[in-house]
Structure 1
Amino acid sequence: MSTRTIGLNEQLYSYLLSVSLREPEILQRLRQETASHPSGNMQISPEQGQFMRLLVQLIGAKKTLEVGVFTGYSSLSVALALPADGKIIACDVSEEYTAIARLYWQEAGVVDKIDLRLAPALVTLDQLLATGQANTFDFAFIDADKVNYDGYYERALQLIRPGGLIAIDNVLWSGTVANPEIQDESTQAIRILNQKLRDDERVTLSLLPIGDGLTLALKRY
């Protein structure tokens, strides 16, 4: 028993992966390719991808939203867990990064499940709301520029149905959120959202120390 979450050193983290990770070979290859990318640290961890697949299956998600695609590991993880008629609307601004994602989506046979929108995500989310798609999504994953996290969250909350789930990445931000000496714009934006979520009665909340910190917000009404 433990009264607090334990830390993971390299040995324990390796053990965790060895006894729990069920990573499809195509996801493993994408993760390895992305690891050599200059911005490879933007990729989620494999155990987080697996956890998200479990969440999608648990809530029976069919229509999902992703804000921030990068090379496609998270969207591919979710797409593999969706039923044949499932759909992801994926928001990103980089043709370069998402070109890698498209290759793996195609190879995995899930390209028809993913509707990639190359535009500022706030614009795409506002368009979805304007076309009557509020309360129609089952799941949303937010993992993009941190200064707009609050805007992404508020729009995702409108788009998600009651009982739907929003997952927000990087909420521990490598521990910098707990260091008052660090006051850059991104860190402050995450702190503000974390504090807001703590008191937001529209959702049921849990912040998990998986990856770089993952907040789960279940829409109550």
Structure 2
Amino acid sequence: MTDSALDLMTDFINATTDESDAMGFARDAADELGLTAPDELTASFLTTISSSYCRDKSAVVVSPSACVSGLAILAGMGPNGHVTCIDTEAIHQRVARQAFTAANIRSNQYRFLPSRPLEVMTRLAARSYSLIYAEIAPADASTLVDEALELLEPGGLIILADILLDGTIANPARKDRDTAAARRLDESLREREDIYLSRLPLGAGMVLISRNEDAPTS
């Protein structure tokens, strides 16, 4: 598929995806705060994934724009699903809470941890989460993956959003810190035998990771 064809298809899907009023509020709030949020295509993907992996289970959302990503995930989780949202900024969490309330999501279906992700994830219960979604700097992504794998229950899934940087990792002339870190992450993930890996052209490039339960342990 050519780049123009992919762009045309993406634009069509985004334009014809219906979203709730609560999601509209969340997108407007994210824009006002200058946050990069998942587009309509990606948000609908997250809802579909959560309906399969997280029905009445638990998820972790590491994202400044949890108002959008968290809402998309909660939409597919069912009445007994629960999301832990991790972000350092109180205003981001306040907006997410408002979006969840607008969507009639009960307050016992989510919690907010105002902490640095790599510091607080080590304190979460191991093998207790069916989905971990993260928007994180490439330099921190490798450590986050290791922490997230410890938190996944069997059959769980890690989603790294926008981590392929719109494909700039394929450009050898790009040597800036973020691109170099994303390139190292991509190479290291492809070399691992203890995970299953899929890379998708969603957003700026999404990576899906699940644990290979049959991999030999060291």
Give the TM-score normalised by structure 2: 0.88
Corresponding residue number in structure 2 for 1:216: 208
Q: Is the 8 A contact 1:70 1:92 kept in 2?
A: no
Q: Is the 8 A contact 1:69 1:90 kept in 2?
A: no
Tell me whether 1:84 sits opposite 2:82 in the alignment: no
Structure 1 gaps, min length 5: none
Q: Is the 8 A contact 1:70 1:94 kept in 2?
A: no
Q: Is the 8 A contact 1:69 1:75 kept in 2?
A: no
Residue-pair matches, total: 211
Corresponding residue number in structure 1 for 2:216: none
CA RMSD of aligned residues (A): 2.0
Task: Report the CA distance between 1:210 and its aligned residue.
Answer: 1.0
Task: Report the CA distance between 1:7 and its aligned residue.
Answer: 4.2
Q: Deviations over 1:153-203 (max 9, x none)?
A: 100001001211111111221232122222222222211111111122222
CA separation in 2, counterparts of 1:172 and 1:120?
A: 22
Task: Report the CA distance between 1:60 and its aligned residue.
Answer: 4.1
Corresponding residue number in structure 2 for 1:16: 13
| Aligned partner (choices 120, 132, 137) of residue 116 of structure 2 | 120
Task: Report the CA distance between 1:107 and its aligned residue.
Answer: 1.9
Task: Report the CA distance between 1:71 and its aligned residue.
Answer: 5.1
Q: Deviations over 1:66-119 (max 9, x none)?
A: 112335200111112112121111111111222211211222222321111001
CA separation in 2, counterparts of 1:5 and 1:205?
A: 23
Corresponding residue number in structure 1 for 2:147: 155
Give the TM-score normalised by structure 1: 0.87
Q: Deviations over 1:137-168 (max 9, x none)?
A: 10110112332111111000010012111111
Structure 2 gaps, min length 5: 214-218
| Aligned partner (choices 50, 56, 70) of residue 56 of structure 1 | 50
Instruction: Quote the sequence identity (%).
Output: 21
CA separation in 1, counterparts of 2:15 and 2:40?
A: 12
CA separation in 2, counterparts of 1:57 and 1:71?
A: 17
Q: Is the 8 A contact 2:133 2:160 kept in 1?
A: yes
CA separation in 1, counterparts of 2:75 and 2:155?
A: 22
CA separation in 2, counterparts of 1:161 and 1:47?
A: 27
Corresponding residue number in structure 2 for 1:44: 38
